[in-house]
Amino acid sequence: MKRLEGKVALITGGARGQGAAEAHRFVEEGARVVIADVLDADGERVAAELGDAAMFQHLDVTQPDAWSAAVRAAQARFGKLDVLVNNAGILMLAPLESCSLDDYRKVIDVNQVGCWLGMKSVLPAMKEAGGGAIVNVSSTAGMEGVATGTAYVSSKFAVRGMTKAAALELGRYGIRVNSVHPGGIDTVMARPPEFADIDASGVYRRLPISRIGRPEEVANLVLFLASDESSYCTGSEFIVDGGMLAGSTFG
């Protein structure tokens, strides 16, 4: 039996990068998937690649009504909703001195408020389904500081914290909630304009696993947390970073 046979998942930020890799992996393992994103053309393309097991739904994660519509669409097309992957996020870097309040709030709205709204919005559907799994994608920036990243780091620490609070509340309903903390992963978001003049290859060569990560490697971890294989895991952080947070080496 496939690992997600019979499950229905909603994946935000599913149009490209880690989200698209998760959608492909989930369908391979028997799930039916709602790919949710603001990138309509890319999302429709991924859904078409996956055939009848997938559909695209436009979703701005900062809007409660859009969340309600996405949950209704999942139930209308596939009959229920068992899994939420809060994968949507944005990266914006600026020194504290020059970071504007508008930019700070934009990052918080998408990364933090969007995640919170997602958990709140799927709760009735998951209770109706008899339980479920929520996977909130944070970052290694939810475990340590990053210079010029006050907004991003704040949002990702918040995702880590709300995951634990939600796990404590939702366990009684058979709903597990965990966070995933990727390090450097080879996606468009990992190459922001602020990094245009930076050669990050040296950073990855110093890791115990001396390369940048692949979206599929994050997808495999998310798959585990969405599946019944992780049935005794909730309220925890799961790190996929090539050893980035393990410590420092000398020489």
Residues serving a catalytic function are 152
Provide the 3-class DSSP secondary structure of residue 74: helix
Q: Using alpha carbons only, what angle is made at residue 191 by residues 190 and 193, rounded to the nearest 5 degrees?
A: 135
Extended beta strands in the chain, E state: 8-12, 32-37, 54-58, 83-86, 132-137, 175-182, 237-240
Rounded Cα distance between 197 and 41, Å, is 30
The Cα–Cα gap between 106 and 1 comes to 42
Which one, of 164, 244, 144, lies nearest residue 204 by Cα? 244
Exposed e or buried b for every residue in 228-243, given b needs 16+ CB within 10 A?
eebeeebbeebbbbbe
Strands 175-182 and 32-37, by their bridges, are: unpaired
Cβ 64 vs Cβ 85: under 8 Å = no
